[in-house]
Structure 1
Amino acid sequence: MSEAAREIEALLGLHPKGFDLSLDRIARLLSTLGDPHLRLPPVIHAAGTNGKGSVSAFCRSILEAEGLSVHVHTSPHLVNWHERYRLGVEGGRGRLVEDGVLADAVRRVAAANGGQMITVFEILTAVTFLLFSEHPADVAILEVGLGGRFDATNVIPRPAVSVIMPVSLDHQAYLGDRVELIAAEKAGIMKRGAPVVVGYQPEAAARDVLVATAERLGCPHSVYGQDFFAYEEHGRLVYQDETGLADLPLPRLPGRHQYANAAAAIRAVKAAGFTVGDRALERGLTEVEWPGRLQRLTDGTLARLAPEGSEIWVDGGHNPGAGQVIAETMTSFEERDPRPLFLVTGMINTKDPVGYFEPFRGLAERVFTVPIRGSDAGLDPVALATDAARAGLAAEPLSTVADALAAIGRITTRPRILIGGSLYLVGDVLADNGTPPA
């Protein structure tokens, strides 16, 4: 275990693991630390049920291609805590924080907190602000952890731009059971007069709430499908806004849903006041990386257990909206290269398994459900298999991902395998495969 991991694990024993949405504790802690969140470079603040990680990755890649140094805060991590903190490097690609630097920052924040009640996520968010304030960079990208209005990242007084990506049902116990209520929580990151970019919204009700909030706060706002959009033409991505067209390569991240995510990133970077040329846009789209989100495994300890000729994908999407776009991507893969599709799925008990599985009805031949080692909230594989059956899929519970890969090998050759349903499961798989994010 790394030095930073030991420090954080110790905190997990002292403070609650769950969510307790409030800004009072983080504000108190940041004040004790000298308000490092007020000493950041321009901030791109991203929220959304799905897509906020992808838009953050696109923004980072585009800005770095322009030669800017970019800090990035994301959560959760897949394998190592360090993944949450990427520090910008002048003229180059940012790097995950070094272990000693992270451990020192965690110790200083914990000392400043003085043992008072606080969530570990709030401590780790304060670590973000401390690290980003002490290491110079041109821009900082902050991904919201949960919701928006009361998320610990939402102490930034005025971001360069707020980006709201697709809103759908998730975390209903904390955010509300209607998409309008969830959209209102996400809209809480908007600040009066600061630019807002509204990404593609599958629900008109959510889009209406976001636009109305931006208008009420006097925020200059751009809406996907109205003020900017993107589409594929002749194997290229065409981006369009009021300034004209940009003819770009298709994004490196697979799936048609990434066209809208890339468009939102381009618009966000512009709205934040950065000038990027077509060359930077081209490099940004083709060099972007976002581990664990439709990431293909081509080699590794676990991948070698799959049937010969397998096409293996991992994706941490875990709600019905994610299931829909992932299933659409698998359909496009099937049109290009027909293969039998098998799901290897693990989920935690706060999700909607039936809603996640339903888009795969008629597409996946079989689901193998597995436990999640990285979370004590994992669903029992037998119960998860029952949920898959309720969604119209043939399902079988197994003990491990390795068992599932072996079972698929007994059924067919050259399968397409999608391992997902939880970022915790994807983290376990990447760790076991020997291919953690870097």
Structure 2
Amino acid sequence: ERAAPLTVVGRDWCYRPIHEGHDRQGLIVEASTAPELIPAGTEFAVALAGEHQLENAAVALAALATVCGRFPGLDLHALQEGLATVRWDGRLQVLQEGPDRPTLVVDCAHNDDSAARLVTALTNDFEYARLILIFGAPEDKNVAGMLSRLVPLADHVIMTTANHPRSATPDALAHMAGDMGKPVAVTQTVAEAVTSALAAAEPGDLIVAAGSIIVIGDLLNHWDTLQSDLTYG
């Protein structure tokens, strides 16, 4: 109705993914709507993990290509550097990694779609012996949908909660996961959940915390303190 131009990634702006694990991925431009700025064949490293972040990077580049005429100072090298160094705490963020200790990943997945994206990334990009899931979520979210995605991937589940009035209780979360056939433990704080997971984990295991931005924020706020007394199974 507004006669606005439409750019579709995958039709007008195309790329080929380069995917070599959670710590190395990128894309190669195959068709660009602004070849004078981003010519076909240009390669971008993308610092954010997960195949979905390549999609997000492609959309961002396509948007920049659309408005580049208004910003004559845009520079290809700056775009490449930006995507190669961008940081997004709490999004498939690796807090520690093996091989002599368990890997710990935090992700703010807080709905069914983001949980599905997380499962894809964990399945495709990480190798591990066992997966320990730390989970906490607001009671007004589609908790059942998230659990149905994440729990089947886990060998052990630790339910927890953040200090927020919307947070579901760990007992309620454990009850929801009770019929999914996985052992479930309950903790009353995020710090307690992380401590419990680290104590149970061994080198080669993967600990994943997810379900709520608030839970992940709580974990990140306590991480420096928790690191001072790490013990592993």
Common topology (TM > 0.5): yes
Q: Secondary structure at the match of 1:222?
A: coil
Could you tell me how far 1:430 is from its partner in structure 2? Answer: 1.6
Q: Which amino acid aligns with 1:254?
A: A
Q: 1:353 to 1:223 in 2, by over 3 A?
A: same
Choose between structure 1 and 2 for higher RCO, CA contacts under 8 A separated by at least 6 residues.
Answer: 2
Cα deviation digits, residues 137-157 of structure 1 (max 9, x gap): xxxxxxxxxxxxxxxxxxxxx
Q: Name the structure 1 match of 2:218.
A: 428
- Distance in 2 between the 1:366 and 1:230 partners? 38
- Distance in 1 between the 2:4 and 2:129 partners? 48
Q: Name the structure 1 match of 2:77.
A: 279
Check whether the contact 1:344–1:369 (CA below 8 A) recurs between aligned residues: yes
Q: Percent same amino acid at aligned positions? A: 27
- Distance in 2 between the 1:270 and 1:392 partners? 49
Q: Which amino acid aligns with 1:419?
A: A
Q: 1:392 to 1:385 in 2, by over 3 A?
A: same
Q: Name the structure 2 match of 1:325.
A: 117
Q: Secondary structure at the match of 1:258?
A: helix
Q: Name the structure 2 match of 1:159.
A: none
* Structure with max Cα Rg: 1
State how many pairs are aligned. Answer: 209
Q: Name the structure 1 match of 2:145.
A: 355
Q: Secondary structure at the match of 2:155?
A: strand
Check whether the contact 2:135–2:210 (CA below 8 A) recurs between aligned residues: yes
Instruction: Check if 1:269 corresponds to 2:64.
Output: yes
* Residue among 184, 203, 225 paired with 1:395: 184
- Distance in 2 between the 1:339 and 1:282 partners? 35
Q: Secondary structure at the match of 2:94?
A: strand
Could you tell me how far 1:289 is from its partner in structure 2? Answer: 1.1
Could you tell me how far 1:264 is from its partner in structure 2? Answer: 0.6
Structure 2 residue runs without a partner (length 5+) = 21-25, 226-233
Instruction: Check if 1:341 corresponds to 2:131.
Output: yes
- Distance in 2 between the 1:233 and 1:409 partners? 32
Q: 1:392 to 1:259 in 2, by over 3 A?
A: farther
- Distance in 2 between the 1:225 and 1:389 partners? 42
* Residue among 62, 82, 87 paired with 1:289: 87
Q: 1:434 to 1:338 in 2, by over 3 A?
A: closer
Could you tell me how far 1:234 is from its partner in structure 2? Answer: 7.5
Further displaced range: 421-430 or 220-229: 220-229
Could you tell me how far 1:434 is from its partner in structure 2? Answer: 4.3
- Distance in 2 between the 1:421 and 1:344 partners? 8
Check whether the contact 2:47–2:85 (CA below 8 A) recurs between aligned residues: yes
Could you tell me how far 1:410 is from its partner in structure 2? Answer: 4.6
Task: Give runs of ≥4 in structure 1 deviating > 6 Å.
Answer: none
Could you tell me how far 1:392 is from its partner in structure 2? Answer: 5.5
- Distance in 2 between the 1:248 and 1:293 partners? 23
Cα deviation digits, residues 41-63 of structure 1 (max 9, x gap): xxxxxxxxxxxxxxxxxxxxxxx
Q: Secondary structure at the match of 2:7?
A: strand
Could you tell me how far 1:227 is from its partner in structure 2? Answer: 1.9
Could you tell me how far 1:391 is from its partner in structure 2? Answer: 5.2
Q: Name the structure 1 match of 2:53.
A: 258
Cα deviation digits, residues 378-425 of structure 1 (max 9, x gap): 001011122234555442221223333343345440221111211111
Matches within 5 A, 1:131-170: none
RMSD of the TM alignment (CA)?
Answer: 2.4
Could you tell me how far 1:221 is from its partner in structure 2? Answer: 1.5
- Distance in 2 between the 1:280 and 1:410 partners? 43
Q: Secondary structure at the match of 2:49?
A: coil
Q: Which amino acid aligns with 1:222?
A: T
Check whether the contact 1:354–1:390 (CA below 8 A) recurs between aligned residues: no
- Distance in 1 between the 2:76 and 2:60 partners? 14
Q: 1:278 to 1:390 in 2, by over 3 A?
A: farther
Check whether the contact 2:135–2:157 (CA below 8 A) recurs between aligned residues: yes
- Distance in 1 between the 2:109 and 2:168 partners? 16
- Distance in 1 between the 2:82 and 2:52 partners? 17
Check whether the contact 1:248–1:281 (CA below 8 A) recurs between aligned residues: no
- Distance in 2 between the 1:403 and 1:345 partners? 12
Q: TM (normalized to structure 1)?
A: 0.44
